[in-house]
Amino acid sequence: LGSDSAVLGAQDFLGQAFVALGEVIGSQRGRLERALTGVPGKRCGTILLLAEELSNCRDIVTMQLCANKLDKKDFFGKSDPFLVFYRSNEDGTFTICHKTEVVKNTLNPVWQPFTIPVRALCNGDYDRTVKIDVYDWDRDGSHDFIGEFATSYRELSRAQSQFTVYEVLNPRKKCKKKKYVNSGTVTLLSFSVESEFTFVDYIRGGTQLNFTVAIDFTASNGMPSQPTSLHYASPYQLSAYALALKAVGEIIQDYDSDKLFPAYGFGAKLPPDGKISHQFPL
């Protein structure tokens, strides 16, 4: 388009190009140049397309936590603590995004390290509230609430350089007891971030894909002359196999390195001896 105006009718048409996203991603270094067309008798120039994947939600974090001096909840023992992580939603509600394992009979548990995608923890919003509840596990499922604390991804990430200690607070106890301090503490022992590799990363890293097809010619498909057969060639529509090949192939072809698609069959009797072959080129 040849104008800065937001009104489409005020634009001069300069040309057009039709490109599948897969072609751009599958091209060298994610850069694809195409000739513009659409104006009869005129060379419209070229357009350079670049594809870039947003990376702010591709990170995964691994963290480990421990607790100290949690409230005792079991009459005959100590407590069996575990943590429940909640991601805050835009409407103010919370959604469970992770639970740790239960550490039996201790008020000073050390939980195993765990890994969680950033998008699950905070949906890429580093300042969004992450609420963490501490419970005492009970066999009947009526777990006892010990306390809670709130943090954020940004605050958690500071543990890469220093330990972070959170006070576990029980709102009911805080209201009832004037001398209430806390129900224990939770310490973030470690926090590391790694990028999660995607399909695009592998393609740009030099991964070569080759699309190969194998078609079943066994008698279980039925007689090709019958409409119930997967090989039935209707004059009005493609066979079931052809439809599947078209649907998958039109997507995969853009990522195939040599654009050559070997096709094989199996389960058919081939001339001249009529023996069944389990691999033959089509």
Phi, psi (5° rounding) for residue 44? -95, 0
DSSP state of 2: -
Location of each CATH 2.60.40.150 domain in the chain: 59-195
Candidates 137, 140, 142; CA nearest to 111 is 137
Which residue type does 63 have? M
% of the chain at pLDDT higher than 90: 39
Give the pLDDT confidence of 5-55 residue by residue, as tens digits. 556 666 788 899 999 888 888 887 778 899 999 889 888 899 988 776 654
Candidates 231, 235, 254, 252; CA nearest to 243 is 231
Give the pLDDT confidence of 184-199 residue by residue, as tens digits. 999 999 999 998 788 8
Give the pLDDT confidence of 135-171 residue by residue, as tens digits. 999 988 889 999 999 999 999 998 767 788 999 999 9
pTM of the model: 0.59
> Is the pLDDT score of 225 beyond 90?
no
Q: What is the CATH number of domain 59-195?
A: 2.60.40.150
